[in-house]
Structure 1
Amino acid sequence: MDSIQELFLSLPFLMVISALIAYVMATRFNLYPVIIYVSKTKGLMDVPEERRVHTSQVPNLGGMGLFITFSLTLLLFVPFLNNTVEDLSNLLSLLAATIILLFLGIKDDLVFMTAKKKLVIQLIAVSMVCILQNVRISNFHGLLGIAELPYIISVGFTIFVFVLVINAINLIDGIDGLASSIGILASLSFGIAFYMAENYLMTIMSAVLIGSLMGFLKYNLSSDRKIFMGDCGSLIVGFLLAYQGIGFLNIDPELVFEYNSENSSILLLAILSYPLFDLLRVFIVRIAQKKSPFDADSNHIHHRLLRLGLNHKQATMFLVVSNLTLILITYFTINLPINMSLIVVVCFGCLLYLLPFLSVFEEFKEEEPEEITPV
């Protein structure tokens, strides 16, 4: 009897079952079909415009389903995690910040909001976890010659990283399955590290997000019951990935023999490399064209892949495999000096993500690409 109880409370079992329950909740309780029905009934749809990928109206409030699945499943497993009062307080502030971002995204999906207003609300949500939970990046471990950060600079830089990742994920949500698949890959990477460190709460959080995203992906890739994540989903996913990433940086190296805390920041860059690289690239291109970096266009890497003739699933698979390849390269070179490891990530990242722009692929370029959505 004791062995059965130990099995049910073991981290591997909780990790697998939490991801499974999140997936089942998303796919077996008519959650997304109800959201799709209400969206169609009330006209809450993403309407095709110039440069859009899709040609028909599609519900774009999939983030509501993501939030419901993630939050309910996570709360369901809280009693099994032997949490301290501090853990529960952190969890509540995390969910509160997620709720703020959910409503921000819903409003932006339904009624256009200016970038300034969205940024202010994002800063409020992010500050809740950075200041109240003391979730922050406190040490660069010699990266670029920087070590321990003063408290104020640490908080400010952490808030910047949160906002950067949130908007990077938002920007790559331009084709079916991409943001979800990148989120699954990143959460899986973080979850493995949290599992090795025996951090129950963060491991379950990663597993629940994976299950929730897989459940959403089923409908996002559907031909007859399609739904988009929308800003209400991409903002939440970006926030949760940033939260996990900072937790990943703060893993105690004494708990994980294979873990190298000095180079963990390099591995984090590799894990989130595609959204961060794409964000940096489009900003540079827009500025070079004397446009605002916040102007929407069709210059993302996934747009290029569509012009080369790939469909949504193929483009998503190409980018996920590229991201995974960079993670593996970084992992196997993690014992290099930290700045040398950074050079490896940057060089291989540029090679992998700029591959579709090589002239050798020009012959596959369509003369008139289908309408593409700016993100």
Structure 2
Amino acid sequence: MLSDLFQNIYFIVFFSLVFSLLVSLRIYPVIIYLAHKKKLMDEPVHRSGHVEKTPTLGGVGMFITFSLAIIIMGIFIDLDRVDLVKLLSVLGGTIILLFLGIKDDLIELSPNKKFSGQIFSSALVVLGTDVRIESFYGIFGVGDLHYAVSVIFTMLVFIFIINAFNLIDGINGLAASIAIIVNTSFGVYFAMNGEYLHVLVSFSLIGVLIGFLRYNLSRVRKMFMGDSGSMFLGFLLAYQAIGFLSVNQLPQTEFSVSNAPIMVLAILAYPILDALRVCILRMAKGHSPFKADRNHIHHKLLDSGFSHVRATLIIALCNIFIIQMAFVLSDLYLTVQLYIISVVLPLVCLFPFLLVQRNGKIHIEVPKF
């Protein structure tokens, strides 16, 4: 009876989300207590969105909760050998990035050392499980990719998404909220197609993130996810995005998406755009693309008078709009969709630059040049 229950995809969705949420609400207070006791705090600097020392090891709580959830659920679900190998590879990759992130949170690693860890963790999953981007779906006339090209391109996608999420973790609630949107989008698709492992990853992570928001948005017992959390998130979301593309190409997939690459770009719209935007601006000024600054879209919203919560809400709504737009465009040729998204995405995500908050009211103002 119990084994039958754990074969029900909707029960897995519910149980993995609730279990990870409840465990996270017990784990995070312990992390906050230990961070205060050991003085493992984030010091505010000129580009920070906070003014007080804050515990910064939320990623440790995320990893512990997520690992417990997927290991326990994996036992009950009775995953096949292929999925177990994938699960162990994913956990191995997250462990590498977790320790890398913790060290960066405490002593600040060089970009080269972080990239080395990201390459190794990405290679572990791509080469160990053969989860990779195998086709461009005919965009620009490119179809199936050569194995070596596929592996290299997939690893680059992993590294880009990991760093994109690291870059958007600049205000309270933003990275976690965007990650919830991403996981919900992929999770619903995986549930419709009975992909147990991906469903488990998506909804366990949603529970972890909801629990994290409880403390990230708190005024009293606040905590940050730190680099350990943002890299952990970016890695798992990259895995889910690539899994989405892989599952969509399987002949047995019941509910496939005709514009899968465009949908991935839409779901990850804000992290992709903000990462590209700040890197281009930094290089245009002759700076390293890894040189931190306050030139992110979320920083501009804070400077316009918005609170962290309102800025997060505005950006999240823009991201959801782009996802809906990808559905509307799904019947067009993929290359045409890409052109349209490439034009509309910057316009929608740069819309926050026109918003100004004064006296509690939101105004739209055209910048003066």
The TM-score by the shorter chain falls in which range? over 0.9
Work out whether 1:53 is the aligned partner of 2:49. yes
How big is the shift at 1:5? 6.2
Q: TM-score, normalised by structure 2?
A: 0.93
1:90 aligns with 2:86: yes
State the partner residue of 1:350. Answer: 346
Instruction: Decide which of 248, 261, 264 is 2:260's aligned counterpart.
Output: 264
The answer on whether the counterparts of 1:143 and 1:339 sit within 8 Å (CA) in structure 2 is yes
2:318 is aligned, of 311, 322, 330, to 322
C-alpha distance in 2 between matches for 1:311 and 1:23: 26
Q: Residue 288 of structure 1: which of 284, 296, 321 is its match? A: 284
2:332 aligns with 336
1:255 deviates by: 4.2
Deviations 1:201-256 (A, max 9, x none): 11111110100111111110011000000000000000000000000001145445
Aligned residues: 358
Which runs of structure 2 are paired with 1:1-375 in the superposition (5 Å)?
6-27=4-25, 29=26, 31-252=27-248, 254-261=251-258, 263-358=259-354, 361=355
Q: Can you list the C-alpha shifts for 1:112-156, whole angstroms capped at 9, x where unaligned?
A: 110011101110111000101111101001112211111111100
Aligned-residue sequence identity (percent) comes to 45
1:259 alignment partner AA: S
Per mean C-alpha deviation after superposition, the further-off stretch among 229-238 and 194-203 is 194-203
CA distance in 2, matches of 1:33, 1:82: 32
Shift of residue 363, structure 1, vs aligned partner? 8.8
RMSD over equivalenced CA pairs, Å:
1.6
1:332 positional shift? 2.0
- Unaligned 5+ runs, structure 2: 359-369
User: Amino acid of the residue matched to residue 194 of structure 2?
Assistant: E
C-alpha distance 7-297 of structure 1, shift in aligned 2 (>3 A): same
Q: How far, CA to CA, are the matches of 2:232 and 2:322 in structure 1?
A: 25
The amino acid of 1:260's aligned partner reads V
- Conserved 8 A contact 1:169-1:237: yes
Q: Distance in 2 between matches of 1:126 and 1:21?
A: 28
Shift of 1:258: 4.5
1:79 CA displacement: 2.1
Could you tell me whether the CA contact under 8 Å between 1:186 and 1:271 is conserved in 2? yes
Letter in 2 for 1:212: V
CA displacement at 1:8 relative to structure 2:
4.8
SS for the counterpart of 1:9 is coil
Q: 1:21 touches 1:73 (CA, 8 Å); kept in 2? A: yes
Equivalent position amino acid for 1:100 in 2: I
CA contact (8 A) 1:101 1:235 kept: yes
CA distance in 1, matches of 2:92, 2:357: 50
- Range with greater deviation from structure 2 (295-304 or 76-85): 76-85
- Give the drift of 1:87: 1.4
- Is the contact between residue 197 and residue 255 of structure 1 (CA under 8 Å) also seen in structure 2? no
